[in-house]
Amino acid sequence: MFEPLGKAPISRDWFGLDIFESGVRFRRKGARLFLLEEVPSTNDFLLGRGPSALGRLCQWENWGWRAFDLAQLSPMEKLQRGTVVVARHQTAGRGRQGRSWVDCGGLHLSVVIPPHPAARQKGFSVWLGLMVVMALREEFNLDARLKWPNDIRVGERKLGGILLERVGHGECYLVAGMGLNIANKSDDFPSQLRSTATSIFLETGQKHKPGAIAGCIVRRVEDEFDRFAREGWLPWQASLSALDCLLGKQVNILSGGKSYEGRSLGIGPEGALLVENSAGETSHFYAGDVHLLPAGEGGQ
């Protein structure tokens, strides 16, 4: 066992490689999984930024994942389909809207999504969030819901979030990064997050290895992607309405440097958040930061 100075020993299988059952796209010959001990950000590692990191490269062979020895691995020189990066620790994780994502010991995962017309659709990032929510509900018995555009929530608390980054213009690759709290206990969160964050362990009392959760999420996205590409939003509209934690609520939304208030009418077929103001006018928001207003606030 390799033991860097001042750190806990690196266990060979903190991730749970044997239970990481991705779908076929990540089980093609040549698919690569990077299991890193610590990086500034898994998205950045995929995007070729930042320092090299200690970790294991795993490669899909006909019989399963082959894990190579621990080595110093360099950030990607170019994006390749079928690449997944998971880090045990992140030191400079990035969140949406320029925020940071604090490492509280959860799952930090980034995947490459190759150029595809479906991934360029406006609602793609909302759809990704919905896939995560549905996978967690069905496979881990969690009452997960979606907060537009792609926060994963249980009740009022945040369980995870997704950062989707486009690389280049037009026919471009995407990098989807997800942070998810898995085995965190309350004390693992910094005090300012303790009342707003939750984890799968806190909600269900069960501890899962990151590989089990990552596998079920990646599989879900892969299984449903072709249908999304063929049929668009329609097959998911009912699930989306049932799992949308803002629907019918008073919200405040910051978008394009302005603040708006109104009642959420739900998420439209292109992934826009529909908000009705007190004059009965409806606005469509494609980007922004939304907050629930306390009941009774904001009229209506």
- Phi/psi at 229 (nearest 5 deg)? -65, -40
Min dist. Cβ of residue 41 to ligand BTN (A): 3
Instruction: Provide the minimum distance between the beta carbon of 177 and ligand BTN in the complex, in angstroms, as a whole number.
Output: 3
User: Which of 65, 101, 127, 233: binder of ligand BTN (CB under 6 A)?
Assistant: 101
Stretch that binds ligand BTN, among 6-14, 96-104, 137-145, 257-265 (CB under 6 A): 96-104
Binding mask 135-174 for ligand BTN (x = CB under 6 A): ----------------x---------xxx-----------
How many angstroms separate the CA atoms of 177 and 167, rounded?
13
| Tokens coding 41 | 């950000």
Q: Which two tokens stand for residue 190?
A: 């910094």
Least spacing, CB of residue 211 vs ligand BTN, in Å? 15
Using CB under 6 A as the binding criterion, the count of chain residues that bind ligand BTN stands at 19
Q: Which residue is nearest to ligand BTN (CB)?
A: 161
The answer to whether 195 and 137 have CB atoms below 8 angstroms apart is no
CA distance 300 to 280: 10
Angle at 178 between CA 112 and CA 203, to 5 degrees: 150
Q: Binding of ligand BTN at residue 95 (CB under 6 A)?
A: yes
Could you list the beta-strand ranges (E) of 16-68.
32-39, 53-61, 64-67
Q: Which is nearer to ligand BTN, 106 or 263 (CB)?
A: 106
Per CB under 6 A, which of residues 12..51 are in contact with ligand BTN? 41-43
